[in-house]
Amino acid sequence: MASLFVHLFTSDVTKYLSFNAVDGSYVFVKGKVQTCHSCSEGAGDSY
């Protein structure tokens, strides 16, 4: 995965992209964006 970021930055394509911080973790499953819980309390609630 790191090589992807290195390639993006060295090819200067980052001037066309916008990187923003997000509050949480998300996954794309079965055509939908879903919350990915990192704690054991909410792990069963995401799917």
Structure confidence at residue 20 (pLDDT): 80
Q: Is 34:46 a contact under the CB 8 Å cutoff? A: yes
Q: Which amino acid is at 25?
A: S
Q: Which two tokens stand for residue 37?
A: 């819980």
Structure confidence at residue 39 (pLDDT): 59
Structure confidence at residue 40 (pLDDT): 52
25: helix, strand or coil: coil
2: left (phi over 0), alpha (psi -120 to 50) or beta: alpha
pTM score, whole prediction? 0.35
Q: Which of 15, 47, 16 is nearest to 37 (CA)?
A: 47
Tens digits of residue pLDDT in 2-43: 788 788 888 988 788 887 887 888 888 899 988 887 655 555
Question: Where do the domains of the chain lie?
Answer: 2-45
